[in-house]
A and B are shown apart, each in its own frame.
Chain A
Amino acid sequence: MAATTATIQPARPLGGQAARRLWRAVGRNRKATAGAVLLLFFCFLALFPGLIAHDSPTAEIYGRSMGVSAAHLFGTTAYGQDLFAQVVWGTRQVLIIAFGAGLASTAIAAIIGVTAAYLGGAWDGVLNLITDVLLVIPLFPLLIVIAAYVQNSGTLVLITVLTLTGWSYTARQLRSQALSVRSRDFLEAARVRGERAVYIIGVEILPTMTSLLVAAFLTNALYAVLFASSLQFIGLGDPNATSWGTMLYWAENNEALQTGQYLWAVAPGVCIAALGTAFALLNYAFDEIGNPALRPVRKIRSKRVRPARS
């Protein structure tokens, strides 16, 4: 065979092909499809809130505590703000926190977890100690303390606080996974041919863990949503921001449930739950996609066994 001098395609990872396979996998898995649709719906709300809710969320110009009507789909708050607009516009902040904290804590968890697994020895010991200490400290009280210290935490502060306290759990997971691939021959081959540790961790190990990284991101995003809303609910967020958590704060302050303004509390609450469910469904689906053994076994209806041939 004649040697060709055509340029060889650079050894890029399976980018396009993996994306297509992922798309198909999501489509075929019911949980994944449901979760994806839900998440996309919320993303749409966050990107184009004006298209859905025409009123301003903050203007206190409407009648107070009005019920459900054509003009106000969810009614109004005790301050005369349109509830529907608040829910829709509040999506943006929640998603920003979810994606922001989710991505940041996953990134930190990946770097620390995989480095600890790869380097082993003393490095592993030190990084593990840090991880474990953070893991053991009760997360929510810690969050409260920090958030209370900072006072009136805006979006960025919330993301930072959530990231710093949230990376430890997934760092453990990613470390375990990295430990299991550490002895794979292709990593030893990389070491033996002289690659540096940073290269091996970043280029050789992390790309093989993509499904776990996505799962970690979804977990962290889910917890970011829940914890951020909880902090805002107890008043540690910026009460003037438009967010589901702050809506709950004001609803609580005005005794919404006791005074019959149910939607004020229920609407943001349901949204928080729905977004959380979206992340959780996608998480399950990724588990199943990554590990076929977890897929639901559909019983194969046994055909009538054909009689043996000659």
Chain B
Amino acid sequence: MSDPRVPEPVLEVSGLSVEYVLDRGSVRAVDDVSFTVGRGEFLGIVGESGCGKSTLLFAIAQLLAPPARVDGGSVRFQGTNLVGLTDRQLAATRWRDLSVVMQSAMNALNPVKSIGAQFKDALRAHGVRRSDEIAARSAEVLRMVGIDSAHLRSYPHQLSGGMRQRAMIAMAMLFTPELVIMDEPTSALDVVAQRSLMVQIKELQESLGFAIIFVTHDMSLISHFSDRLLVMYAGQVSELGATRSVFDAPRHPYTQGLLEAFPSIRGAKVPLKGIPGSPPNLAIIPNGCRFHPRCPMAFDRCSEQAPDLYERDGSLVRCLLYDDAAAGSATQQAGGRADA
């Protein structure tokens, strides 16, 4: 487990905001998000549907397409701000130092080209021309993910779901990048394949030393693999801290609600509640704290003042309960509001 204070940042996201420009006005899908990722660190970004995590990922990887656009903030990768660079300027960094693994391999891999041909495309696009080098490197990355190199000749549909995802990861490893961004690469897999893929990813990370940003909605899966966890809600960071700390002592009421919504197969069987209501429509966000309409611990100020990120025991929490100035009035009323 690495220290939340990252000594050698590979990626620094500062105040990043993304908006969707629509006919009737624009909607902010990502609002003022900041975090850093250190060398070799595994950062998990979790949230439910509509929280903006995928948009955030696309913004970092500079893959946003109209009507989405970065509305503010910076994404510094190894010192250079990626926001505003052209495709040609980005090409040098892309795949060499920063690669992306998408959610569904069937959608990301070209179905009419063999795996080997797609690796070759990627290698040649970055200057590797000799066929013996191409063959060697392709076989090597496949071996890294546990696939026999004979499958270089296979087409994506001939591989099983788990193997396809591994092939995607192998492709992302072609140039041993510093940072790999993954968007829910395990969602389409069964639970056994999910676990083995995660183990594989973690092993690769430990042997090659790259950093990972892993976006998922499956908190329980990521909890065993990430160093730090960032919880998103309604486009904002609601909690950010060391994984174990977030799980053992969740601070934000949303994180608490989320963790309590997971039934367990071990231990006592207890009735669970979930979180009433649903995430807000980002075109009409609530006044004050975005979570307050659903929060069992909301008090008066929550509907008036939007909380900043406050620090507590090494974690950041966006909740007025942790605003020391407001703490006084909060403790008087905390727990008084019954949930729906």
Interface set of A (CB-CB < 8 Å, partner B): 28, 297, 299-300, 302-303, 305-306, 308-309
Asked if A309 and B15 make an inter-chain contact with CB atoms under 8 angstroms apart, the answer reads yes
The secondary-structure label for the interface of chain A is: loop
Q: Hey, which chain B residues are within 8 Å of A28, CB to CB?
A: 23
Q: Hey, which chain A residues are within 8 Å of B71, CB to CB?
A: 303, 305-306
A305→B15 CA distance, assembly (Å)? 11
Q: Hey, which chain B residues are within 8 Å of A300, CB to CB?
A: 21, 66-67, 69
A130→B231 CA distance, assembly (Å)? 59
User: Apart from A306-B71, A308-B34, what are 9 other A-B pairs with CB-CB below 8 Å?
Assistant: A297-B66, A300-B21, A302-B84, A305-B70, A305-B74, A305-B84, A306-B73, A308-B72, A309-B72
A308→B71 CA distance, assembly (Å)? 10
Interface code B28-61, partner A: CB below 8 Å = 1, 0 otherwise? Answer: 0000101000000000000000000000000000
B83 CB–A CB distance under 8 Å: yes
Total A-B pairs, Cβ < 8 A: 31
Asked if A305 and B66 make an inter-chain contact with CB atoms under 8 angstroms apart, the answer reads no
A148→B70 CA distance, assembly (Å)? 65
Asked if B67 and A305 make an inter-chain contact with CB atoms under 8 angstroms apart, the answer reads no
Q: Hey, which chain A residues are within 8 Å of B83, CB to CB?
A: 305
B14 CB–A CB distance under 8 Å: yes
A28→B21 CA distance, assembly (Å)? 16
A66→B328 CA distance, assembly (Å)? 98
Residue from B15, B66, B69 in contact with A308 in the complex, judged by beta carbons closer than 8 Å: B15
Asked if A309 and B84 make an inter-chain contact with CB atoms under 8 angstroms apart, the answer reads no
Q: Quote the shortest CB–CB distance from B65 to chain A (angstroms).
A: 9
Q: Hey, which chain A residues are within 8 Å of B34, CB to CB?
A: 308
5 A-B residue pairs with Cβ-Cβ distance under 8 Å, sorted by A, are A297-B66, A299-B66, A308-B73, A308-B74, A309-B72
Q: Quote the shortest CB–CB distance from A222 to chain B (angstroms).
A: 29
Interface code B70-90, partner A: CB below 8 Å = 1, 0 otherwise? Answer: 111110000000011000000
Asked if A306 and B66 make an inter-chain contact with CB atoms under 8 angstroms apart, the answer reads no
Q: Hey, which chain A residues are within 8 Å of B66, CB to CB?
A: 297, 299-300
Q: Quote the shortest CB–CB distance from A25 to chain B (angstroms).
A: 10
Which residues from 275 to 301 on chain B have a C-beta closer than 8 Å to any C-beta of chain A? none
Chain B interface extent, by class: 10 to 19
Q: Which 8 interchain pairs have the tightest Cβ spacing? A: A308-B15, A308-B14, A306-B72, A308-B73, A309-B15, A300-B66, A308-B74, A300-B69
A308→B36 CA distance, assembly (Å)? 14
A28→B22 CA distance, assembly (Å)? 13
A309→B67 CA distance, assembly (Å)? 24
Q: Quote the shortest CB–CB distance from B29 to chain A (angstroms).
A: 15
A242→B23 CA distance, assembly (Å)? 46
Given the known inter-chain contacts A308-B15, A308-B74, please indicate yes or no for A302 contacting B69, CB distance below 8 A: yes
Q: Hey, which chain B residues are within 8 Å of A302, CB to CB?
A: 69, 84
A237→B191 CA distance, assembly (Å)? 70
A137→B14 CA distance, assembly (Å)? 65
Nearest opposing residue in chain A for B32, CB measure: A309
Q: Quote the shortest CB–CB distance from A306 to chain B (angstroms).
A: 4
A305→B71 CA distance, assembly (Å)? 6
Q: Quote the shortest CB–CB distance from B25 to chain A (angstroms).
A: 14
Nearest opposing residue in chain B for A297, CB measure: B66
Q: Hey, which chain B residues are within 8 Å of A303, CB to CB?
A: 71
Q: Hey, which chain A residues are within 8 Å of B70, CB to CB?
A: 305
A300→B32 CA distance, assembly (Å)? 21
Q: Hey, which chain A residues are within 8 Å of B32, CB to CB?
A: 309
Q: Hey, which chain B residues are within 8 Å of A297, CB to CB?
A: 66
A303→B26 CA distance, assembly (Å)? 14
Nearest opposing residue in chain B for A28, CB measure: B23
Asked if A305 and B72 make an inter-chain contact with CB atoms under 8 angstroms apart, the answer reads yes
Nearest opposing residue in chain A for B83, CB measure: A305
Q: Hey, which chain B residues are within 8 Å of A305, CB to CB?
A: 70-74, 83-84
Q: Hey, which chain B residues are within 8 Å of A299, CB to CB?
A: 66
Nearest opposing residue in chain A for B72, CB measure: A306
Name, among B32, B34, B72, the residue most crowded by chain A CB atoms within 10 Å (CB to CB): B72
Nearest opposing residue in chain A for B15, CB measure: A308
Name, among A297, A300, A302, A305, the residue most crowded by chain B CB atoms within 10 Å (CB to CB): A305
Q: Quote the shortest CB–CB distance from A17 to chain B (angstroms).
A: 16
Q: Hey, which chain B residues are within 8 Å of A306, CB to CB?
A: 71-73
Nearest opposing residue in chain A for B16, CB measure: A308
A309→B71 CA distance, assembly (Å)? 12
Q: Quote the shortest CB–CB distance from A26 to chain B (angstroms).
A: 14
A28→B66 CA distance, assembly (Å)? 19
Q: Quote the shortest CB–CB distance from A89 to chain B (angstroms).
A: 42
Nearest opposing residue in chain A for B23, CB measure: A28
Q: Hey, which chain B residues are within 8 Å of A308, CB to CB?
A: 14-16, 34, 72-74
Q: Quote the shortest CB–CB distance from A234 to chain B (angstroms).
A: 47
Nearest opposing residue in chain A for B34, CB measure: A308
A306→B18 CA distance, assembly (Å)? 12
Nearest opposing residue in chain B for A292, CB measure: B67
